Every structure is written in structure tokens, then in C-alpha cells.
Amino acid sequence: MTDSPAEWDASGVEDLGGGIYRIPLPLPSDALRAVNVYAICEGEDVVLIDGGWALSESQRQLEKSFSEIGLSLSQIRRVLVTHVHRDHYTQAVSLREQFGCHVALGSGERANLFELLAAFSEQRMPRQFEALRRAGAGRLMAQLRNVPANDSEQWQVPDEWLEADARLHLGSRTLRVISTPGHTAGHVVFHDESANLLFAGDHVLPHITPSIGFQPSLVPFPLRDYLASLRLVAALPDARLLPAHGMVTDSVHKRVSALLAHHEARLEASLAVVRAGAPTAYEVAEILRWTRRERDFAELDPFNQLLAVSETLAHLDVLVLQERLRTVRTDEGVDHFGLPPARR
Ligand SMILES: [Zn+2]
């Protein structure tokens, strides 16, 4: 969700040593402020981790940052993209069109990308709308139907689908592809074990909790997947955290523990709200507080309300998996959550 502190987005290029640079690029909405791409230099060649959002001001900023380091965009050989969200993927496609670089994306993003190639909004994301119906969020669905369509040409297939555990050799450096579903179904992170670096995309963010399962192709339990992916990363040796939004920090493990604790607290809070009598994900979302600033649901814009409702539904679904709640679907397709019958 929104609200990150610090000036990480306005500080320009950050030299991380070893020929690696963090380059913050602008985004059109102020919610996330910026997206970091990482340039990895190996001789004359540059590999980018994530591409940014295809916007002329973003490419201008990338070009300016490259020239500060003494590089040109034509040196980009490969763009390794952590997930299909437009602030990570679309500029990779536009760089490929202009400079012929190679674009790679996790193979778990296939279903998402094919939905994105098809159409837009309710047609383009019918399953998101199904989930909103299930959440009892009719009013929000009506608002989201008015969001204008555009830009289908920014969605193209990558040159390569990355498989989990693949090892990518970039000159002297080896990155391991680690599949981390949750934020999206095909999210991957890139682990440079010998340099102790984790290019974490949106899986582990230092200031904010990533949205869960906001994607065109729905999966049954995105939060369960996300929590498992957090534990997977916690089982790797600790590394420096190179996130897609926010500052570089020293410890992936420290942040993963905080994220696990956050979701544990959200599960408890969601359970308490259902216990107090709110039956649908939408009504639970209205009662919970949102973002680091503890905002009221009504203060969020429709897009952030969509994320909030989807995330609440994901938490309630995990509580059902844990047999701490049960659910009944109404004739209108709305899931009503309640306590399971007391067990003997
Ligand atoms: Zn994302």
C-alpha cells in the first residue's frame, strides 16, 4: 500500500559498489513515488533489473542517470523483470523496441501477461471483478468501471520465460532466479549469493507492505503463497535488500520478520472484525485501518480501495484455510464469513 518515508526517490543514482547502481525512476501516480531499477555493469554490457514504467520522463531520467555513470542505453543487453506490473515491465518492452535488448520474465507470469494482452478493465481483469463481487464490493465495482482504457501496445511477450532456480551468468556474476509468488503469481527475485545481494522486486519492501495478488489472473490463496515465499527468502543466507521501492537496507531477514508479524497481526484483526459481526470482505475492509498512517477506508482512492478489499479477502481466505473461519456463498455470489461451529 501507500506512504513511504525518506527521500529515496529524489536522491538520484546510488552507487552500490561492484558495478551496481540503484536508479530511481518516476511514476505517474504519487502513491509509490518511484520505482528503482538496478544497473549491473559487466565490462561494456549492462543488465537491468526491472525496467520501470514506459513514460517519456522515465526514459529521460534513465538516460540522464546512465550518462552520470558514463553509460548509454544502447549498452543494455538484458532486462530481468521481477514481475508483470506495469511499473516494472512496460519500459523493458519499450527499451527492447528501441535498443534490441533481451527481456526476461518469470514463467509464472504467463497467465497474467496473456490476460493483459487480451483487453482492459472489467473485460481485461474479469477475475478481479469476480473477487470484488465475492467481497460484496458492488459500489466499488461501479466506480472502477469508469476507469478509462488505454495502452495495450505496452504489453508484449518477453524473449525468455525464467524458470525457478535458473542460474543466470552475467560475466563474473551469477544470479539465481527464486520464485516468490504472492505479490503476483509469477514474481521472482534474483539472488547474488557470492555478493550477498537480493534484488527483491516488490516481494520484500523496506517501508511498505506489498499488495497481495493484484493481478489479472487470480490464484486461489495469494496470501498463503506470499507467506510461504517470505519464509523461503528467510531460509536463504541473509543478504542486502535491494528493493524496487525504497532505500537499500542491510538485512532481508530483518524486514521479512517484520512482514510476517504484520500479516499475523492483520489475520488477528480481520478475525476480530468478523467475530464482531462484519460478514463480507468489503465490510471488514471498511473497519480496518489502512497504510502506515492508519487511514480510514473511505479516505482511500478507488484503486487503493480495490487493493484493500482484495487484501482483506486474501486474509479471510487464509483464516478459512486455517479453519478459524468458514464461509457461505450467497445467491448473489458474495462470500459471507463467520465462525466455524465449535469443535468437540
Ligand atoms: Zn508490483
CA distances from 46 to 39, 43, 140, 170 (A): 6, 8, 43, 9
**2 located within any domain:** no
Q: What is the mean pLDDT of residues 164-170?
A: 96
Residues 153-165 have pLDDT tens digits of 678 889 999 999 9
Same domain, 33 and 180: yes
Q: Which residue from 133, 53, 123 is spatially nearest to 93, judged by alpha carbons?
A: 53
The total number of structural domains in the chain stands at 2
**Residue 68 CA to ligand 1 centre (angstroms):** 27
Measured CA to CA, the distance from residue 71 to residue 37 in angstroms comes to 15
Contacts of 107 (CB under 8 A, 6+ apart): 161, 162, 163, 164, 186
**Residue 203 CA to ligand 1 centre (angstroms):** 8
Same domain, 202 and 68: yes
**Residue 308 CA to ligand 1 centre (angstroms):** 15
**Residue 244 CA to ligand 1 centre (angstroms):** 9
**Residue 184 CA to ligand 1 centre (angstroms):** 7
Exposed/middle/buried for residue 287 (C-beta within 10 Å: 0-12, 13-18, 19+): middle
- pLDDT value at residue 114: 81
**Residue 279 CA to ligand 1 centre (angstroms):** 29
Look up the CATH number of the domain holding residue 176.
3.60.15.10
Measured CA to CA, the distance from residue 72 to residue 246 in angstroms comes to 25
- pLDDT value at residue 5: 52
Confidence class of residue 147 from pLDDT cuts 50, 70 and 90? low
**Residue 82 CA to ligand 1 centre (angstroms):** 9
Question: In the 8-state DSSP scheme, what is residue 163?
Answer: P
**7 located within any domain:** no
**Residue 320 CA to ligand 1 centre (angstroms):** 26
- pLDDT value at residue 122: 64
- pLDDT value at residue 141: 83
Same domain, 204 and 289: no
268's enclosing H/E stretch is helix 252-275
130: number of CA atoms within 13 Å, CB side?
A: 12
Measured CA to CA, the distance from residue 248 to residue 22 in angstroms comes to 8
**Residue 271 CA to ligand 1 centre (angstroms):** 27
**270 located within any domain:** yes
Q: What is the mean pLDDT of residues 33-60?
A: 96
- Does this model's pTM top 0.75? My answer is yes
Residues 199-209 have pLDDT tens digits of 999 999 999 99
Looking at residue 322, its amino acid is Q
Q: Which residue from 30, 34, 40 is spatially nearest to 66, judged by alpha carbons?
A: 40
CA distances from 328 to 222, 320, 338 (A): 20, 11, 8
**168 located within any domain:** yes
User: Is 60 exceeded by the pLDDT of residue 4?
Assistant: no
**Residue 326 CA to ligand 1 centre (angstroms):** 30
Same domain, 284 and 241: no
Regarding predicted confidence, which is higher, 9 or 77? Answer: 77
**343 located within any domain:** no
Same domain, 105 and 243: yes
**Residue 343 CA to ligand 1 centre (angstroms):** 40
**Residue 210 CA to ligand 1 centre (angstroms):** 7
Backbone angles phi, psi at 339, to 5 degrees: -75, 145
Domain with 47, as residue range(s), is 14-252
**Residue 81 CA to ligand 1 centre (angstroms):** 11
**Residue 183 CA to ligand 1 centre (angstroms):** 7
**Residue 167 CA to ligand 1 centre (angstroms):** 23
**Residue 113 CA to ligand 1 centre (angstroms):** 14
**Residue 218 CA to ligand 1 centre (angstroms):** 15
**Residue 86 CA to ligand 1 centre (angstroms):** 8
